Structure 1
Amino acid sequence: MAYRIDRRGVLLGVAALGVSGGARAAAPFASRRIAVTVRGSGADVLLIPGLASGPGAWSGVVAALPAYRFHLVQVRGFAGLGAEANASGAVVQPVADEIARYIGAAGLRRPSVVGHSMGGTLAMMLGLKEMAGRVMVVDMLPAGAAMVGGTASGLGFLANQLGGYLTGTAAGRRYLAQMVAQAPGAQGSDPDVIANALRDLANVDLEPQLPRLSVPLEVVYAVGDDAQMNAAINARFRTAYAGKKGTALRPIGPSGHMVMRDQPARFAALLKAFLGG
């Protein structure tokens, strides 16, 4: 059975959640930051896509694992959805807060949360808020700047400058529009929202907070065909997540950044095991 959020962000067709002594319907949910589509039945799993992506990034996952109720989150301003409250200012922290609000409004009890890229950052933030029962991060480091070899203090400043160029100049907006047009799944994304989200990510560093992440954490990440490069990638992920004891690191390759599309069968098997089979 499918459920969806209408264009205003209102949850439609909410399922009754089984509880002791009867069923309780989740409260309606409206948001100007996110939209959510709910598909299937079973244990609740939130799927959060990456920068400029929409729920379509998870289509293969939903089809491969029919025994779960998937809550597919879409950030407003990405993949054809109007920006609304994300049109200006910060994106990442307000979106994390709004997803947490959705979890409460929908009556979910510490669901599993899976996030790709920027979605992985959001998934960790939800875990730190104690809103998730377990977290899977797909191809993302706890410090957003580290994904391109920088630090929050250094790359964050450059990202602020770059964000101004991309959104404040005609040449920058044309360049960003070209990038969006060429990126898989990003068509229809708002350049301002992308630039602001990039700036946010470059200034986010969750690594110091990992020791207080109390829920199970699994990190799936892409590797290629080059053994020497793969060793460096493995070392980088191992070091970045060392603060969280028991983190399960799962390299998949050969793969690009969209692991779930490049290696769908292997990713689905890992996710199924992560969710408990």
Structure 2
Amino acid sequence: MRPLQWFAALFALVFLAGHALAAPTRFTVEVSGKGPDVILIPGLASSADVLRPTAKRLAANHRVHLIQVAGFAGAPVAGNGGEGPVVAPLAEEIAAYITASKLTAPAVIGHSMGAETGLMLAERHPALVGRLLAVDALPFFPLVMNPAATVETVAPQAALFRDRMAAATPGQWAAMQTAGMARYIKTEAARPGPIREAVASDKSVVARAAYELMTTDLRPDLARVTVPVTVLYAYDPVYGVGAEVIDALYAGAYAGTAKLTLKRIDGSFHFIMLDQPAAFDAAVDAFLK
């Protein structure tokens, strides 16, 4: 083999090896459209389908990277199998994907667990993220139940919740997801799809991710987030408190974030994109301008 041919072959082998090492195991991704990069990350036990309408709309003038988390909505468990955390390793794999794909400061839009994943990215890899839209998520999720919660006070309850989910029978699992979606989606006609996706999710992956979310407090590191952050959060009178209480909860939770925009969407539960799709689309467009 001539020296030039040998060098070309060696370069190809090195490139392919690096590409293989960078291949994600904790998620799959669908890429569509052309333009500035946008990464969409769905939430706990959700399918990529919950953000697919957004992906299709944005693909007209963006290159959209639609994430499906392994083990959710019937997707193979793959790298999320076994034991231990799910969300932090997912964030690290997305960071590796951004680097391997040579994306330049992509916008990240995450719902719920996907938003916490985006926050981890922005805190731990600030040079890789251009801006973040966190949809109905807190940097410490237990605050929604107890504003005085700490990791230490929540950990025992979180462990019980994790173990209960992991041990649920198929019937119990389906009942848990059905009841949960009634609290998370106000529009009854929009619930069947997310319920099916949650029921089809791997119990161990969901249980471990839920435990991680309940015992991870990102507030101490929010000062490290230097990119613009928009937090879109839901409110409905059925919450039983005034809108000003929810406003104060989110403002306090995200205090210390350098470039913060808070926007409340009324008449919605947790899945804002399903309960108030027009308002959600408008907020996404404003975020991307």
* Common fold by TM > 0.5: yes
Partner residue in 1 for 2:101: 106
Structure with bigger RCO (C-alpha 8 Å, 6+ apart): 2
Provide the alpha-carbon RMSD of the alignment: 2.0
Q: 1:147 aligns with which of 116, 134, 144?
A: 144
Larger mean Cα displacement after TM superposition, 224-233 or 48-57: 224-233
Aligned to 2:156: 157
| Range moving further from structure 2, 43-52 or 144-153 | 144-153
Paired residues in the alignment total 249
What is the CA distance between 1:99 and its match in structure 2?
Answer: 0.8
The 2-side partners of 1:112 and 1:257 are apart by: 22
| Higher strand content, 1 or 2 | 1
Give how far 1:224 is off.
1.1
Which blocks of at least 5 consecutive residues in structure 2 are unaligned?
A: 1-17, 182-193
Structure 1: distance between partners of 2:112 and 2:66: 15
Choose the corresponding residue for 1:137, options 134, 137, 145. 134
More divergent stretch after superposition (104-113 vs 149-158)? 149-158
Residue 60 of structure 1: aligned partner:
53
In structure 2, C-alpha distance between the alignment counterparts of 1:220 and 1:257, rounded to whole Å: 10
Q: Please tell me whether the aligned partners of residues 114 and 136 of structure 1 are also in contact (alpha carbons under 8 angstroms).
A: yes
Alignment of 1:1-277 (within 5 A): 27=19, 30-65=23-58, 66-89=60-83, 90-128=85-123, 129-130=125-126, 131-149=128-146, 150-167=149-166, 169=167, 174-180=171-177, 183=181, 184=194, 185-225=197-237, 228-276=241-289
TM-score, scaled to structure 1: 0.84
Rounded to whole Å, the distance in 2 between the matches of 1:163 and 1:174 is 17
CA contact (8 A) 2:115 2:133 kept: yes
| Counterparts in 2 of 1:27 and 1:191: CA distance versus 1, 3 Å | same
Measured after TM superposition, the shift of residue 146 of structure 1 is 1.8
* CA distances 1:152-171 after superposition (whole Å, capped 9, x unpaired): 2222221123212332x455
Could you say which residue in structure 2 is the equivalent of 1:20?
none
Shift of 1:54: 1.5
Q: Aligned equivalents of 1:230 and 1:156: distance in 2?
A: 29
What is the Cα deviation at residue 265 of structure 1? 1.2
* Percentage of identical aligned residues: 38
Deviations 1:219-245 (A, max 9, x none): 000011469421111110011111113
Aligned counterparts of 2:156 and 2:132: Cα–Cα separation in 1: 29
Relative to structure 2, which stretch is displaced further, 92-101 or 157-166? 157-166
The Cα shift of 1:216 comes to: 0.5
Distance of aligned partners of 1:165 and 1:228 in 2 relative to their CA distance in 1, 3 Å threshold = closer
1:88–1:196 contact (8 Å) kept in structure 2: no
Instruction: Give distance in 1, aligned partners of 2:201 and 2:133.
Output: 25
Q: TM-score, normalised by structure 2?
A: 0.80
The SS at the match of 2:89 is helix
Structure 2 CA distance for partners of 1:42 and 1:27, relative to 1, 3 Å: farther
The answer on whether the counterparts of 1:180 and 1:189 sit within 8 Å (CA) in structure 2 is: no
**Is the CA contact (8 Å cut-off) linking 1:115 and 1:122 kept in structure 2?**
yes
Whether the aligned pair in 1 keeps the contact of 2:40 and 2:67 (CA below 8 Å) is yes
**Structure 2 CA distance, aligned partners of 1:54 and 1:147?**
24
Q: Deviations over 1:87-110 (max 9, x none)?
A: 222111111111111111111012
Larger Rg: 2
Structure 1 residues 231 and 190, CA gap change in structure 2 (3 angstroms): same
